[in-house]
Every structure is written in C-alpha cells, then in structure tokens.
Amino acid sequence: MLAAEDYLSGQVLLIDKPLHWTSFQVVNKLRYEIKKNFNIKNIKVGHAGTLDPLATGLLVLCTGKMTKQIDSFQGQIKEYTGTLVLGSTTPSYDLETEISETFSTEHISEDLIHKTTKQFTGEIDQIPPVFSALKQDGKRLYQFARAGEQVEIKSRKITIQEFEITKINGHQVDFRIVCSKGTYIRSLAHDFGKALKSGAHLSALRRTKIGDFNVVNAISVESFITNLTSY
C-alpha cells in the first residue's frame, strides 16, 4: 500500500499501455487519479519513452522525484514484438493512415525474408516517419504531413541488436526486435519492404522490454486505478 508521500518522493510505475491511447493520455490519467485519490494539489508524472497510439505494451512512468531518472530510462535498450504486412504501404508506415500503394510479392520467399533481416542489424541509418511527433523548424513532423507539406527529414544512426522473424503467414510477418533509443519500428517495416523490392507497413506493435523492465510485470491502467482506490 503506497501513500501520497511515496508518490511524491518518487515511484517507477510499469503500465501496459492500451491500444488507441497516447502515452500522454496515460500520464494524464494516472496523474489525475493520484491527485484525486490523495487530495494532492500537484505531482510530477512523466513517461520514459513514447509509444504510438496503435502500439501497446510497456510504458515506464515516473512520479515525483523519480522523474529526474526519466532520461536514463529512455536511453536503455528496448525490445518490441509486432507484425508487418508485405505488399502494401501507407503514408504513416502503419494503420493510422490508409493503404496508398500496393506491390507484387511473388518474388518474396521465406528464405529471402530471413536473409534480409541481416541488412538491418548493427548500426544503421534510419529516417524517422513524417507522421511522428519529432520537431523540425518548430513544428511537429505530423503537422507538416497532415497539411500536405513536403519536408526533408534527416537520417540518424540507430542500432538494431537483434532482428528475429518469429512467424510468416502469407503477407503477414511476425518479428522480435531489440534496438537502441530513437528507433522507429514503423520506419524499419517500411525500409524492410523496400529492401525486399516490394513494400510493407506495420500492422501491430508491442513493446515488451525497456532495459531490465519487462511488460510481464506491468499492469493495466484500470488495475492501477483499482489498486489506488481500494485502500
């Protein structure tokens, strides 16, 4: 049982982010519930690494004085599992936007899929998706995208430690990736499709680890609220 002082002095909370929620919605919801339950006027709550609304999984939240540790958590190695779909692309590289182009996949074999992962291990250059919250010239990239404006996005160095194909079912390819901070799995799916001389987009994504934190130890937003108000 945690008291108000515990949250103010600092806690690390492991939350399993639900589908369609933004990371900021989770932060705001938990901050609101903590303030309401303990009648606290204000408390710092932040997250250590954004997840897209269409992604689920581990979100590390820090409260009170532990928010000073957010940068150190953000820099840790992350693990994801997910599914990409071969043969079609979307402007956002995932299902946030509709399919815009389709490509032939007749030349793609399971062996080629496995071999192509080797192109994406180690240190690689990656261009973040235009549908992202990164800032350029004082604006979020997605603001340019939604306005139909062209913007040149610079590539950056990322590291993929592991890229494992776990299942292939027709056009659907399941994977597990261990990567550095700043990696966009949507961009990886898009680039993977291009490397196969076809196209691909991300259809599902789940973050399973951040450093030593594991999603198996995380709880849902609803469970956190229930535990908070049951004392």
- Which residues are catalytic, by number? 52
The end-to-end CA distance of the chain, in Å, is 7
What's the DSSP call for residue 213?
E
Output the six-digit token pair for 204: 């599902």
Q: Report the alpha-carbon distance of residue 73 to residue 66 in Å, rounded.
A: 11
For the residues of 146-161, what is the DSSP string, one character each? HTT-------EEEEEE
Two tokens, residue 166 = 């776990």
Output the six-digit token pair for 90.
């979307």
Separation between Cα atoms, residue 172 and residue 64, nearest integer Å: 42
Token pair belonging to 207? 């973050």
H helices then E strands: how many in the chain?
7, 13
Q: Name the 3-class secondary structure at 199.
A: coil
Q: How far apart are CA 30 and CA 7, in angstroms?
A: 11
